[in-house]
Chain A
C-alpha cells in the first residue's frame, strides 16, 4: 500500500469527494491563493499546502478564496449547506473561531433541532490545531473541548494519515455539521493510505496498541506522544493499551471502558487546559460507568491552565510529552489493587 503523508491524505480525500459529488465545494482564506495577485491563482493551496492543486483541477467556482472574514466564511457555508451544497469550509487556525463561533454553535449546530428536524446542514469545518510550532498564544490552541460540548456538532480528530482520509471522506458524506481538526504536528507524518476512497465511521475508536498494565486514551497529535511513551515503558516491562477514540463527539465510550476493564488503570492525555476538557470528560465517564474497574486514581496529562506560551522552553513545558505521560503511567502503577 502506498505511503502518504497526513497532508496528502486530506488532499486526496477532498479531491476524490469533489470528483464524486459536484455539490462539494471548498472555501476559505487562500485555499487557492493568488487571486488578485500579480501571479496566478491556485499557486498556494492553503497556508500548509493541504488544498494544493484543487483550484487547478476544479476551478474558482468550487475552490473559493474568501476575504479574511471568518463569520462570513462559516455563515456562507451554513447557507450553502442548507440550500443543497456540501461545503468544506476552512478556518485556517482553530484559534480564529473566536470571530465566527456564533455561526458554528448558535447557527449550524442548532438548525436541525430548532427547526423541528426540517433542516439539514451537511457542513464540514476543517481547521488546524495544536502547539509546537512556536506560533504563540493565538495560533497554537486545540479548542476541541469547545466544539465537543456543543450538541449538534460532530468533532473529528484524526491521529494518522490513514484515519485522516477515511474520517474526512466520512465527514464530507455526513449530513450533520462536522468539525474536522487537523493536528499541525502530524502533517508530515506518513502511513499506508489506500488510493481508493474509503470511510471510517464516527464514534468507533481503535486500539493503536494493546497491553496489560495501563490504558492510555488520547486523540489527534497526542497519540504520537502516547505511543512514544508506551515504547519507552515497554523497555521497563510495562505494557499499555493506547486507545484512540478518533472522534470526541460522538465518543466511543465502549472501547474506553472495555480497555479500562482489562487494565484497571487509566491515563488520559489531552493537549488542552485541564478544566472541562476531553481529559476530564473521559475521566468522569470512567469514574461513573467504570467505577468497579479502576484500581488507581485516574491521571490526566494536560497542559497547565495558561495560554500557550511563545518561548520554546516554556512551550515545551506546556505541552504534554512522552516523559510526562510515562511518568503518569508509572504513578498509577504504584497503587496496589
Chain B
C-alpha cells in the first residue's frame, strides 16, 4: 500500500523519536537521573512503528518490559513518558509505574509489562471485547522470543484461536532473552511456525524493515478487522544494547555487535524514501530538529518536575475500599 508524504513523515518521526528517546534514556541513566533499571528498544524501532502505523487509539496494544518504543509507536506523549521514567509527578502514571509499567489507556496502550509473557493473555481479553462489541478493532500482544517460550503465550494463542478473538501476536525476536540466545532457548526452528501450529496464520518478517512490517500487519489487520480471528508475526529485529542499560554484554562478540548496528531500520527507511523521491533531505532535517527538541524539552521537564507527594503513597490502590 502506498503511503502519503504525511504518513511517511509520521513513521520516520516516530522511529527517530524512539532512537533519540532511548539514547537519551541511556545517557540520563548513566548520569544517575533515572531510578531502577531501563530496557531500551534501540535497533527495533521499525518493528513497533510498523506494527502500530495503521492502528487507531481504539485499537489496543499490550507491551513488554522493553516498552518505550511501543508507547511511542502508539502515540503516547513523550514528555509524559520521560517524566514517568524519572519517577516524577505528572508522568503518564504519576510516577507510580516507572519504565516497565508505562500505560496510557486513552491511547489504547494497556501497559508495558515487567512479567515476561504477561501481555498476551491480557491482549486476548482486549480483543475479546472488540469481538463481543463488534467494533472491528483489534488488540496486539507484543512479546519477545523469551516471552514466546512462556506458557502464558501458548495459552493465549490457543484461547485466541478458540474464541476467534482479533488478537495479533507480535513476537519480536531480538535474538536474546536476557543473556541467553534465542537459538538456544527457542526449541523450535521458527517462532512463527510454532504460532501457526496453534491454528492461526503466521509470518516471519524483517523487523528492521518498516515497510515489510507494515505489510505483514496489514494482513493481520485485514483478518482481525473482518472478525476472522488471530494472526501472528515474528518480527526479527536485533537489540543494539544489552538486556538492560549498563549490561556489559560479555556474552556477545564485538563482531556480532557491529553487525547488529549495521542493521539500521531508520537509515534504511531514509535511504529508500530519498531514493524514490517521496521526501527530501530537508524534510528529514526538519523532523530531526523537531524530535531532538522534543526529547530535550522532555528531559528538561523531567529533571525539573517534583517527585510525587507522599500523599500519593496510598492512593489508587482501589476505587473505593
Tell whether, in the assembled complex, residue A118 and residue B105 are in contact, meaning their CB atoms are under 8 Å apart: yes
A282 contacts partner chain B, Cβ-Cβ < 8 Å: no
A25, A66, A112, A113: the one contacting B132 at CB < 8 Å is A25
A5 smallest CB distance to B (angstroms)? 31
Q: How many A-B contacts if CB must be within 8 Å? A: 155
Tell whether, in the assembled complex, residue A118 and residue B103 are in contact, meaning their CB atoms are under 8 Å apart: yes
Q: Nearest 9 A-B pairs (CB), nearest first?
A: A75-B121, A79-B125, A116-B94, A117-B316, A116-B93, A76-B125, A72-B155, A69-B155, A80-B125
Interface residues of A, CB < 8 Å — how many? Answer: 45
With A116-B91, A154-B318, A176-B319 in contact, is A76–B124 under 8 Å at CB?
yes
Hey, which chain B residues are within 8 Å of A72, CB to CB? 121, 124, 152, 155-156, 158-159
B111 contacts partner chain A, Cβ-Cβ < 8 Å: yes
* Chain A, residue nearest B123 (CB): A79
A82 smallest CB distance to B (angstroms)? 6
Q: Whole-angstrom distance between the alpha carbons of A153 and B162 in the complex?
A: 29
* Chain B, residue nearest A152 (CB): B317
* Chain B, residue nearest A65 (CB): B162
Tell whether, in the assembled complex, residue A115 and residue B93 are in contact, meaning their CB atoms are under 8 Å apart: yes
Query: Which of A102-110, A140-148, A325-333 lies at the binding interface?
Result: A102-110
Tell whether, in the assembled complex, residue A107 and residue B122 are in contact, meaning their CB atoms are under 8 Å apart: yes
Hey, which chain A residues are within 8 Å of B113, CB to CB? 107
Tell whether, in the assembled complex, residue B317 and residue A80 are in contact, meaning their CB atoms are under 8 Å apart: no
Hey, which chain B residues are within 8 Å of A107, CB to CB? 113, 115, 118, 122
A119 contacts partner chain B, Cβ-Cβ < 8 Å: yes
B91, B125, B129, B158: the one contacting A69 at CB < 8 Å is B158
Chain B contact-residue range equals 35 or more
With A72-B152, A114-B96 in contact, is A102–B103 under 8 Å at CB?
no
- Using A79-B125, A80-B126, A116-B94 as known contacts, list a sample of 13 further A-B pairs with CB atoms less than 8 Å apart, ordered by residue number in A: A69-B158, A72-B124, A75-B122, A75-B125, A76-B128, A79-B62, A81-B125, A115-B93, A115-B96, A117-B315, A119-B111, A176-B318, A203-B321
A71 contacts partner chain B, Cβ-Cβ < 8 Å: yes
* Chain B, residue nearest A106 (CB): B115
Hey, which chain B residues are within 8 Å of A61, CB to CB? 132
Residues of B at the A interface (CB closer than 8 Å) are 60, 62, 91-97, 101, 103-106, 110-111, 113, 115, 118, 120-130, 132-133, 139, 151-152, 155-156, 158-159, 162-163, 165, 315-321
B129, B316, B320: the one contacting A83 at CB < 8 Å is B129
Hey, which chain A residues are within 8 Å of B110, CB to CB? 79, 82-83
Q: List 13 A-B contacts (CB under 8 A).
A: A72-B158, A75-B122, A75-B155, A76-B121, A76-B165, A79-B62, A79-B110, A80-B128, A87-B125, A112-B318, A113-B316, A115-B111, A116-B94
B79 smallest CB distance to A (angstroms)? 15
* Chain A, residue nearest B163 (CB): A64
Tell whether, in the assembled complex, residue B121 and residue A119 are in contact, meaning their CB atoms are under 8 Å apart: no
Q: Whole-angstrom distance between the alpha carbons of A111 and B120 in the complex?
A: 15
Tell whether, in the assembled complex, residue A116 and residue B163 are in contact, meaning their CB atoms are under 8 Å apart: no
Q: Whole-angstrom distance between the alpha carbons of A85 and B132 in the complex?
A: 9
B102 smallest CB distance to A (angstroms)? 8
A151 contacts partner chain B, Cβ-Cβ < 8 Å: yes
Tell whether, in the assembled complex, residue B118 and residue A102 are in contact, meaning their CB atoms are under 8 Å apart: yes
Hey, which chain A residues are within 8 Å of B163, CB to CB? 64, 66, 76
* Chain A, residue nearest B80 (CB): A116
Residues of A at the B interface (CB closer than 8 Å) are 25, 61-62, 64, 66-67, 69, 71-85, 87, 99, 102-103, 106-107, 111-120, 151-152, 154, 175-176, 203, 250
Q: Whole-angstrom distance between the alpha carbons of A25 and B165 in the complex?
A: 15
Hey, which chain B residues are within 8 Å of A117, CB to CB? 94, 315-316
Hey, which chain A residues are within 8 Å of B118, CB to CB? 102-103, 106-107
* Chain B, residue nearest A117 (CB): B316
A57 smallest CB distance to B (angstroms)? 16
Tell whether, in the assembled complex, residue A112 and residue B316 are in contact, meaning their CB atoms are under 8 Å apart: yes
A137 smallest CB distance to B (angstroms)? 22
Tell whether, in the assembled complex, residue A114 and residue B121 are in contact, meaning their CB atoms are under 8 Å apart: no
A334 smallest CB distance to B (angstroms)? 39
Tell whether, in the assembled complex, residue B132 and residue A78 are in contact, meaning their CB atoms are under 8 Å apart: no
Tell whether, in the assembled complex, residue A79 and residue B155 are in contact, meaning their CB atoms are under 8 Å apart: no
Q: Whole-angstrom distance between the alpha carbons of A62 and B126 in the complex?
A: 15
A125 smallest CB distance to B (angstroms)? 13
Hey, which chain B residues are within 8 Å of A81, CB to CB? 125
* Chain B, residue nearest A75 (CB): B121
Q: Whole-angstrom distance between the alpha carbons of A113 and B314 in the complex?
A: 9
Q: Whole-angstrom distance between the alpha carbons of A80 and B95 in the complex?
A: 25
B35 smallest CB distance to A (angstroms)? 15
Q: Whole-angstrom distance between the alpha carbons of A117 and B316 in the complex?
A: 5
B135 smallest CB distance to A (angstroms)? 10
Q: Whole-angstrom distance between the alpha carbons of A81 and B128 in the complex?
A: 10
Q: Whole-angstrom distance between the alpha carbons of A77 and B111 in the complex?
A: 16
B108 smallest CB distance to A (angstroms)? 9
* Chain A, residue nearest B91 (CB): A116
B14 smallest CB distance to A (angstroms)? 22
Tell whether, in the assembled complex, residue A115 and residue B126 are in contact, meaning their CB atoms are under 8 Å apart: no
A78, A112, A118: the one contacting B104 at CB < 8 Å is A118
Tell whether, in the assembled complex, residue B60 and residue A83 are in contact, meaning their CB atoms are under 8 Å apart: yes
Q: Whole-angstrom distance between the alpha carbons of A102 and B315 in the complex?
A: 23
